[in-house]
Amino acid sequence: MFSGIVEEMGAVQAIEKGLTGAKFSILASVILHDLQVGDSVSVSGACLTATKIEDQSFRVDVSTETLNCTNLGMIAVGTPLNLERAMKLNARLGGHLVTGHVDGIGTLRAREQDGNAIYLTVEASEDIMRYCVPKGSITIDGISLTINAVTGQSFSVAIIPHTTKVTTIGLKQIGDSVNLESDLIGKYVERLLQASGTLPSPPAPIIDKDYLQKRGLL
């Protein structure tokens, strides 16, 4: 479990791709302080397990499923990544409850400067948008953010200078993909209401070309 408060930006040092997934070597410094083999790390929003710790980097295995369902399948050597160790139960929860289980990939559709903040508009699929509410929480590439507005198939967030400086969000440009995780509490509330019959179950998705493209499977 994570909080969505990024501890540092790392970078991809090496990638080894195979038929059953990939292995990443990721440059880091802050999170290596007490990182152990087997620990969970949020890598731009995806929960991965550290398999080897080195002096200035750590390694992770990435499954084919994760490569397909996140933007990690699109990265290259040198790509910056947001890193966060699993949170401690005796620490302050500065963001919100984040599992590191990415729900899907969104696309940055607008970027506007307003005073000292940057407003980003992100397009997302319906199965993510239904959990988006104004002033609610959303995780973008592992960053806990507050939704400002929801319009049709997109939502907007405001990025303060500190977040722009210490995370990869300041590097994102229109058309870039981002990992999205919806608010965990909203998912449980929906499931409980469906089980009680108060809320109808969502219709089964239509598996077509558009469905596969939005999930990075084509």
Q: Is residue 192 very low, low, confident or very high in pLDDT (cuts 50, 70, 90)?
A: confident
For residue 217, CA distances in Å to 18, 163, 211 come to: 17, 30, 9
Question: Considering the domain boundaries, does residue 157 fall inside one?
Answer: yes
Q: Which of 85, 118, 148 is the last residue of a domain?
A: 85
Question: Considering the domain boundaries, does residue 98 fall inside one?
Answer: no
Same domain, 48 and 12: yes
Q: Is residue 17 very low, low, confident or very high in pLDDT (cuts 50, 70, 90)?
A: very high
Same domain, 162 and 118: yes
Q: Provide the β-strand partners of residue 108.
A: 122
E runs forming strands in 28-176: 40-43, 46-53, 57-63, 80-85, 104-114, 117-123, 137-140, 143-151, 154-159
Express each pLDDT in 156-176 by its tens digit.
Answer: 999 999 999 999 999 999 999
Same domain, 135 and 200: yes
Question: Considering the domain boundaries, does residue 92 fall inside one?
Answer: no
For the stretch 177-193, what's the b/e string if a residue is b when 16 or more beta carbons lie within 10 angstroms of its beta carbon?
bbbbbbbbeeeeebeee
Same domain, 64 and 158: no
Number of domains observed in the structure of the chain: 2
Amino acid residing at 73:
G
What's the pTM? Answer: 0.87
Ramachandran angles phi, psi of 72, nearest 5°: -65, -20
**Could you list the residue range(s) of the whole structural domain that residue 27 is in?**
8-85
Same domain, 191 and 117: yes
Q: How crowded is residue 211: how many other Cβ atoms within 10 Å of its Cβ?
A: 14
Express each pLDDT in 26-64 by its tens digit.
Answer: 999 999 999 999 999 999 999 999 999 999 999 999 999
Same domain, 66 and 162: no
Question: Considering the domain boundaries, does residue 64 fall inside one?
Answer: yes
Q: Which structure tokens are listed for 184?
A: 């965990």
Question: Considering the domain boundaries, does residue 131 fall inside one?
Answer: yes
Same domain, 71 and 132: no
Q: What is the CATH number of the domain that holds 81?
A: 2.40.30.20
Q: Is residue 120 very low, low, confident or very high in pLDDT (cuts 50, 70, 90)?
A: very high
Same domain, 122 and 196: yes
Angle at 117 between CA 3 and CA 101, to 5 degrees: 25
Q: Which of 52, 85, 118 is the last residue of a domain?
A: 85
